[in-house]
Every structure is written in structure tokens, then in C-alpha cells.
A = this chain, B = another copy of it.
């Protein structure tokens, strides 16, 4: 008999055999699709394999485990984020407007890829957040390898924001109190908006556009020299 399992996959009859690189890319594509449409938990290795037209175990020849799929996808996401935040240095536009655009791009990109965003910025992979100090001050514990790598990638886009702010400070357009802290605050605001809308929907909030506008306005005014 020819091992003709019943309802196999996308390509029922012929079972194709691909070189590693192609197969890897294909797995990544269908995995991202399933993660995005069904979520990380619901998208099982079996379903991913099924969509890819192979058996679940074949995935393990290309990726260490399910998390490895996630981190590979996260890498792509970060590349896109960096691209979205890399606005051409048309020095013609006013510098403050550039910061404004930076934050808008961040929020829009996050909302345009809500599930990747959640995977990347709102989950700590398998290792759970270790218990923190009871005063609420986290004792920065051992950071797993992949999380660290993710962090590096994230820092790249954060760096864009940071240097942007430093430039504005140098130009005297923003207060010089605490440039690094400013970048953190701007990021917190942007991330707060994105993650709140993702988890709770925008139904209970100020319309998203006005929300972004108001938030940016507050930030700008709040960081301006007195």
C-alpha cells in the first residue's frame, strides 16, 4: 500500500520534497499565518505541519521547537518595525514633526500587526516572569537566551527613537533633563496605546486617531523647554 492517509494536506496526492532552505521558509510562512489568525496557543505543530503538507516531526528538522518558530517570526517583525520607523531624513520637515511621525508609525505598525506585536512584546516565551520583589521592584533575574536576542532586536528600533530625541535635545527643542528617560516615556506611551487596544479593543476608548494625537500633544508639550 502507498501510505494514502485520508485527508492529508494542501497538496493531497503528490508529496513534495524540498531543500531545507525552502522548506524552512515555507514552514515559517504558514506558521506566521496560523499564529496571526488563530494565536500562538491554538496554532499547534500538527496544524502547522498539516498546512505545510508535512508531518509534525519534520518541523523539528528545521526548528528546535515551537518557540523557535516564534522567535524567527519575531525577527521578521522587528525588521519591519525598524523599517517603519526609519523615515527618510528629509531635513526639510520640522524636527518635532519627525518625532511625531516616529510615534505614529510605531503605533500604526503595531496595530497593523497586532498578533505579532503581542507575541513579540507581550509574551515572555515559555519562561514565566520570575517572582519580583514584594516592594514591586523587579530583581532583574537571569534572562533566557532567546529573550535576550529579542531584546537586542527591540533595542534597535528603540535606538532610532532615542537618537531622534537626543537630536531634538541637542537642538534645544526639548528639555535636557533626562533624554534617556524621555525616550523611555515616549515608548511607554506608544506601547501602552498599542497593547491596550490590542487586548481590549478600541471600543471603550477615545477614537484611536484622536488618542494618538492627544498623547503626542501631551508628550511634546511636556518635553518642551519651559
Q: Which residues from chain A sit less than 8 Å from chain B, CB to CB? A: 36-39, 41-42, 108-112, 114-115, 118, 121-124, 128-129, 131-132, 134-138, 140-141, 143, 147, 151, 154-155, 177-178, 180-182, 184-185, 187-193, 195-206, 208, 210-211, 214-215, 217-224, 226
Chain B residues, Cβ within 8 Å of A123: 199
How far does the alpha carbon of A192 sit from the alpha carbon of B122 in the complex, in Å?
11
What is the distance, in angstroms, from A89's C-beta to the closest C-beta of chain B? 24
> Residue on B with the closest CB to A203?
B140
22 pairs across A/B with beta carbons < 8 Å?
Answer: A36-B131, A42-B128, A108-B136, A109-B136, A110-B136, A111-B132, A118-B129, A129-B199, A137-B202, A141-B201, A151-B204, A154-B200, A178-B206, A182-B218, A184-B211, A185-B189, A185-B211, A188-B189, A189-B192, A218-B218, A221-B223, A221-B226
Residues on the B chain within 8 Å of A202, using CB: 137-138, 140
* Cα A208 to Cα B140 with chains together (Å): 12
- Which residues of B lie under 8 Å from residue A200 when comparing CB positions? 147, 151, 154
Q: How far is the CA of A203 from the CA of B134 in the complex (A)?
A: 17
**Do the beta carbons of A199 and B111 come within 8 Å of each other?**
no
For the complex, what is the distance from the CA of A132 to the CA of B178, rounded to whole Å? 37
Q: State which of B137, B197, B206, B219 has its C-beta within 8 Å of the C-beta of A111.
A: B137
